[in-house]
Amino acid sequence: MNTRPRHPNKEIENAVRYAENEGWGYRATGHSSHAWGRLLCPLRQQDGCLMSIWSTPRVPINHARQIQRKVDQCYH
């Protein structure tokens, strides 16, 4: 079984877990990317919601809140 890596920041990790519990999926990004990964809404199609998860955001708690808001606002 291929498991998702843990985010080094605990607030962001908790937000990613929240998204996964709401049906969102994780997709890894390439090695040259500044993003740690991407979250895809349950629709998982081209017109679905997508959010990049940054590896080292300037204010991690704000980024975690952005993730939770995006999940809560998704209508899919």
- Looking at residue 39, which CATH number applies to its domain? 3.30.920
- Give the chain's domain count: 1
Q: What is the pLDDT of residue 54?
A: 94
Q: What is the pLDDT of residue 65?
A: 98
User: Mind listing the pLDDT tens digit for each residue in 13-67?
Assistant: 999 999 999 999 999 988 767 899 999 999 877 788 999 999 999 999 999 999 9
The C-alpha atoms of residue 69 and residue 8 are separated, in whole angstroms, by 21
Q: What is the pLDDT of residue 32?
A: 66
**How far is CA 20 from each of CA 31, 32, 58, rounded to the nearest angstrom?**
23, 25, 23
- The whole model's pTM is what? 0.88
Q: What is the pLDDT of residue 66?
A: 97
Ramachandran assignment for 62, one of left (phi > 0), alpha (psi -120 to 50 degrees), beta (any other): alpha
**17 in a domain, yes or no?**
yes
Residues 6+ apart with CB under 8 A from 12: 53, 57, 60, 63, 64, 67
**19 in a domain, yes or no?**
yes
Q: What is the pLDDT of residue 1?
A: 45
